[in-house]
Amino acid sequence: MNELCRMSAREVVGLLRRGELAPQEAIDAALARIGEVDGLVNALPTLCEERARDAADHLPAGAADGLAGLPIVVKDLNDVGGVRTTYGSPIFAAHVPARSDLTVARLEERGAVVLAKSNTPEFGAGANTFNEVFGRTRNPWNTAKSCAGSSGGSAVALATGMAWLASGSDLGGSLRTPAGFCSVVGLRPSPGRVPRSSNGLLFESLWVEGPMARNVGDVGLMLDAMAGEDARDPLSMPAPATSFRTAAEAPRLPARIAFSRDLGIVPVAREVAEVCGGAVEQLARAGAAVSEDRIALGDARECFQTLRAFGFAATFAPLLESHRDRLKPEIVWNIEKGLGLGADEVAMAERTRLQIFHRTLNFFEDYDVLVCPTATVAPYDVERRYVDEIDGQKMETYVDWLAITFAISLTACPALSLPCGFTADGLPIGLQIIGRPRGEAALLSAAAAFEEVLGIAGAVPIDPRTA
């Protein structure tokens, strides 16, 4: 593996800023690595080399203070101007947007060079990265396993050294779950922290864009490039005075940690719970005060399912009318569920979410962070569409197994998935760390301290491993 591909994003950006590395050389290294390994994992189906090289030769003013020409990977739900963007759907298999969306444009303004689009399930629905346009993306730790989703291609690209930074998005766990499955770091920011594209419902706050990287410091670097106020996103907020990278490079073990093996709402596979429990024991031995506790989230499942279905109906109902036969069945089910909702059901879900938020605020009067598993299971067979059973307990819908992440989406808290260990078969397990609302800086500092204690951040990048 090229030594450049092994470096952290911060190290490569440092070389670029000092003029010790040219952006074209970074592109060369990334393309060589993609050529070596992507055929085994199918993470980056669309390359845009010519566009990237042109962008590298014409970096915007101020790029040196940002990502300085670093090649990045962008999820295929985001429009990149002049580049095939399919949203993982055969309906848009030939779609080429004229301009980049707000999220991508902001990254490019701050010195990022888009080199490839990462694979995603159709419209990001379903936490296994496959679609009828590009096929399945495979987990590099065992190519017979799923990399989860919907930001699965981004997570795999990072884990295999094809990218230093990658974009992700998250409604119910789409960024955190693949990070956990691939032993990388993914941050779901607070709503409004990162300005979002105009493709979605801009006044809806469950869906966010966020950074993914191999370590916490690099996530801070990318969040700095993504965050800030923009009038085109009505929920966006100004960037803080102190950079997120600075916060991530100042590790601080939180004094008060609450730990839950399942948040009291969904079964968690025994081995996953044991690995996460062992990681928390290490934190306690390092000096943190750990208590078994959780936010009361017993009403989160129905609340989230209602709000998610409402969002699907609002966004995709026109496609159901015109292209029903080309949508995967899970999306058809979600749209129809949304169209069948009554006003009383939506109103109840909104009231419930408000109650959850107030409970969350009260909870964080006693704790600095809440930690729990990122996913309810370890990486599963890539041929399975979704997880329908956990340790013998059936799941009612194709998203129920994601309750441990989607319940946290309802709280509006930032949440980060950090690698915390491996199963007996060598498959990655992620620890979900939840901070106070709008508390990304403190969360990154805590996650960096956890990363030091657990000591496995250097496990990636790897060469793909076949079964």
211 beta partners = 167
- Residue 117 annotated to the active site: no
Active-site residue identified among 100, 151, 169, 174: 174
50 contact partners, CB below 8 Å, separation of at least 6: none
Decide the pairing of beta strands 256-259 and 289-292. Answer: parallel
Q: How far apart are CA 215 and CA 188, in angstroms?
A: 15
Tell me if residue 152 falls in helix, strand or coil.
helix
DSSP state of 290: E
- Residue 150 annotated to the active site: yes
The residue among 444, 417, 308, 295 whose CA lies nearest residue 357 is: 295
Q: How far apart are CA 245 and CA 219, in angstroms?
A: 8
- Residue 146 annotated to the active site: no
Region of 124 (left: φ > 0; alpha: ψ -120 to 50; beta: rest) is left
Q: Cα-Cα-Cα-Cα dihedral of 74, 78, 79, 84, to 10°? A: 60
Q: How far apart are CA 367 and CA 112, in angstroms?
A: 36
Active-site residue identified among 100, 118, 150, 236: 150
- End-to-end alpha carbon distance in the chain: 21
Our measurement of the distance from residue 39's CA atom to the centroid of its chain's CA atoms, rounded to an integer in Å, reads: 23
The residue among 37, 42, 49 whose CA lies nearest residue 2 is: 37
For residues 308 and 407, the answer to whether their CB atoms sit within 8 Å is: no
Active-site residue identified among 8, 75, 117, 260: 75
Residue positions annotated with a catalytic role: 75, 150, 174
